Amino acid sequence: AQSVTQLGSHVSVSEGALVLLRCNYSSSVPPYLFWYVQYPNQGLQLLLKYTSAATLVKGINGFEAEFKKSETSFHLTKPSAHMSDAAEYFCAVHRSNDYKLSFGAGTTVTVRA
């Protein structure tokens, strides 16, 4: 079954520094991949999604992710962190066998002033 693994349960960055969140997927076919963000006490908000149209996907709030088939990765980046980026980030894959969304364990991002 398709699944995703997020490396690092917690990432701490300085304001203005690069944010890099890692996600690797296991899939024998091109997957549909997503990044969601969850701010404290809120629901999940779609940041971006990979749909095979382009390997570099731009999302909201300055985030982007690059699909690398050779590395089975879909890492999320933002060039310059802002205090408002402090949140929980989930990578997810849509499983084609049972149509379910499979989430990674999540990465908590804290931003230091």
Binding mask 46-75 for other proteins (x = CB under 8 A): x--x-x------------------------
The alpha carbon dihedral of 25, 5, 104, 59 has a sign of: negative
Cα(43)–Cα(66) distance, rounded to whole angstroms?
25
Of 54, 100, 110, 112, which lies in the binding site for other proteins, with binding defined by CB under 8 A? 100
Torsion of CA 83, 88, 93, 97, to 10 degrees: -160
List interacting residues with other proteins (CB under 8 A): 32, 34, 36, 41-46, 49, 51, 88, 90, 94, 96, 98-101, 103-106, 108
